[in-house]
Structure 1
Amino acid sequence: MQEFTNQKILVVGGAGFVGSNLVKTLLLSEPQEIIVVDNLLSAEKENLPKDSRVIFIEGSITDNNILAQLNSDLDYVFHLATYHGNQSSIHDPLADHENNTLTTLKLYEAIKDLINIKKVVYSSAGCTVAEKTFEQAEATTEDAPVSLYLDSPYQISKIIGEFYSNYYFKRHNLPVVKARFQNVYGPGEVLGAGQWRGTPATVWRNVIPTFIYRALRQMPLTVENGGIATRDFIYVDDIVQGLILCATKGIAGETYNLASGVETSILELANLINELTSNPTPLDFRPKREWDNSGKRFGSSEKSRTQLGFESEIDLPKGLINTINWTKNNFSFIEKCIQKHHNYMN
């Protein structure tokens, strides 16, 4: 990671789950400074390492005052800000627009003429382009067609971010690389982190941290539609390495899947987590979520492997064990974050 030595790096959304793990890894390369901009809507400041090279600015990247503070000599930009999750975006599409779509447009408009920028990495979502099927899934490639009928404002915002990335690359030569995430999990994802966003998805966000917490409490794991849906689960350390490779080896204007390439059903996941945590409570089977038509999906990692040298290294059982141990060690902090929303949940 010598490319980041003595560099000035901006991480938008850097206090979040993926962002904070990225910041910790980037610090190992001895950068000059890392500027983190985060409004803590779905994150906690405690996620960030205490380091004099980390400059934290609390607020949204859409704030003109914050944009005016950004250094004109930035070397790298990682744009990870998002309005966390499909369900939150369905509940409040305007908030999703403010925190998902507008963030990208205002950031790019502010940095389009900065001559030092070597690479901008935009975090997109694999669910946006995955085929909507409950039949046999095929690995989603980077050139998969985009449906005009997406399941949520979150998915719409993420693909609009890709469109803006393409526009600013073509029109202003802004060197944007698009990284399409699959389902990221691992240490540092805190249930209940940030502010109440109108639905229980504020607390029960992604499936793996929710399942692990509930399993450790010996609660039933909720499985919809028989657990037949499949996902591509990728460990956060692998995502961080993928982001770094996008910044250092990615071709501007290109899109890369950051995927494990392994398809796992939700039923398999639930049973494995119950086994690893010794949770004796039976699964709680419920009907399909009415809004979710994603069904079965996983990403192709071929392009990322051949062009970036990226390959996920942590398999699901090992990653789950690491995440279970981290959850046990940080249980009181997680409980504290969940309890912030106690009055809303009841």
Structure 2
Amino acid sequence: MTQETGFKNARILVAGGAGFVGSNLVHMLLAEDPKQIIVVDNLLSSDEVNVPSDKRVKFVVGSVTDTQVLANLPDDLDYAFNLVCYHGNQSSIANPMADHDNNLLPALTLFDRLKDIKTLRRVVYAAAACAVAEKTYDDPSPTTEEQPVSLVHDSPYSISKLVGELYGNYFHIRHGLPIVKARFSNVYGPREILGAGRWRGTAHTVWRNVTPTFVWKSLNGESLPLDNGGNTSRDFIFVEDMARGLMACALRGEAGGVYNLATGRETTILELANAINAATGNKSPLDLKPARDWDRSGKRFASTEKARTQLGFEAKVSIQEGINRTVEWTRQNTAVIQTCMDQHRKQLSQLG
């Protein structure tokens, strides 16, 4: 089965499909000529503008924790992607209960429903590399899929993602759920809309991941804030590569298996900031700040050997190309982004 034909005439569920990664996946899946894509999203941290207008797409506004939404899912799904999450480490720190309700609970309820659908070829779960990566500021080694898991975590988000994997393992062993766990590295690219969704209690409702925040500020001539002087590093993967990796997990991933979806390359936040400023022409000096009090994540990048050998997946888009494309998308979608940001202006002003 090849990636070009594996989804042809398939019925596919994408939970969280109005979000940043989910919507890119939906657009890419449509090119494979599926029978139907069912997008379920409660728009907590996403926007319906991301959902393509296509007769093959059925958009359900709701949560997979809703018993009626679950009951209405068809019993002949071929593939399911669970990309639901409560967006962001710092939002989860501000409200651990909301993280539980919108990150961990959706995984449990959806797995429990999907276990009864016998036509499923694969269920792909969006896991998180940050939940297993070593916390270090020394020279990091690539995080493998066999990395020992610590019971000490610095955010409820990380905990929820890890427990989601554990539930996936349980449903695979107990009920034969054909789950594949895809451990995300730091994804960036088009359709990540600053301020998308409802207010979630902190400024990070608007100022989401580092790349879209830096791109927006850079395009507006602002200084880019570098926590810990930008010494932290991440493995940045372009969203279209991530979507291809998710599809490879569905088509070639071993049921019960886990795979890193990453580039295998380490980029410091300082390097990222300089690359973004070069792409936008921003001349404002960098704003060097101390480390965040909760964040001990340090430097990290992922091993890509298993994904390459077993899935045939390798990231194709370089960090410079990805930044250039993200900057251009942001320029073209300024009005949509500004509208989403503006809806939270009052709450942001109250935070000072």
Q: What interval of TM-score do these two structures reach, taking the shorter chain for normalisation?
A: over 0.9
Render the CA deviation track for 1:121-140: whole Å, top value 9, x for unaligned: 00001110000111111100
Task: Work out whether 1:233 is the aligned partner of 2:236.
Answer: yes
Match of 1:52 in 2: 55
Match of 2:331 in 1: 328
Match of 2:67 in 1: 64
Runs of 4+, deviation exceeding 4 Å: none
- Separation in structure 2 between the aligned mates of residue 274 and residue 23 of structure 1, nearest angstrom: 31
- Equivalent pairs, count: 346
SS of the counterpart of 2:273?
Answer: helix
Give the residue type in structure 2 aligned to 1:234: I
Match of 1:282 in 2: 285
Give the residue type in structure 2 aligned to 1:240: A
- Separation in structure 1 between the aligned mates of residue 113 and residue 280 of structure 2, nearest angstrom: 47
Match of 1:253 in 2: 256
Give 1:34-49 correspondences, 5 Å limit.
34-49=37-52
Match of 2:313 in 1: 310
- Separation in structure 1 between the aligned mates of residue 210 and residue 230 of structure 2, nearest angstrom: 12
Within the candidate set 145, 148, 159, 1:145 is matched to 148
Give the residue type in structure 2 aligned to 1:58: V
- Separation in structure 2 between the aligned mates of residue 111 and residue 184 of structure 1, nearest angstrom: 27
Render the CA deviation track for 1:247-274: whole Å, top value 9, x for unaligned: 0000000000000000000111111111
Unaligned stretches of 5+ in structure 2? none
- Separation in structure 2 between the aligned mates of residue 253 and residue 15 of structure 1, nearest angstrom: 26
Offset of residue 59 of structure 1:
0.8
Unaligned stretches of 5+ in structure 1? none
Give 1:146-185 correspondences, 5 Å limit.
146-185=149-188
- Separation in structure 2 between the aligned mates of residue 280 and residue 11 of structure 1, nearest angstrom: 41
Give the residue type in structure 2 aligned to 1:95: A
Task: Work out whether 1:204 is the aligned partner of 2:202.
Answer: no
- Separation in structure 2 between the aligned mates of residue 148 and residue 286 of structure 1, nearest angstrom: 29
Calculate the aligned-residue CA RMSD, in Å: 0.6
Render the CA deviation track for 1:153-196: whole Å, top value 9, x for unaligned: 00000000100110000110000000000000011110001111
Task: Work out whether 1:338 is the aligned partner of 2:303.
Answer: no
Offset of residue 2 of structure 1:
1.0
Give the residue type in structure 1 aligned to 2:212: P
- Separation in structure 1 between the aligned mates of residue 114 and residue 238 of structure 2, nearest angstrom: 31
TM-score by length of 2: 0.98
- Separation in structure 2 between the aligned mates of residue 5 and residue 311 of structure 1, nearest angstrom: 23
Give the residue type in structure 2 aligned to 1:200: A
Render the CA deviation track for 1:56-90: whole Å, top value 9, x for unaligned: 11011000010110001111000000001100000
SS of the counterpart of 1:122?
Answer: strand
TM-score by length of 1: 0.99
Within the candidate set 3, 11, 15, 1:12 is matched to 15
- Separation in structure 1 between the aligned mates of residue 28 and residue 273 of structure 2, nearest angstrom: 30
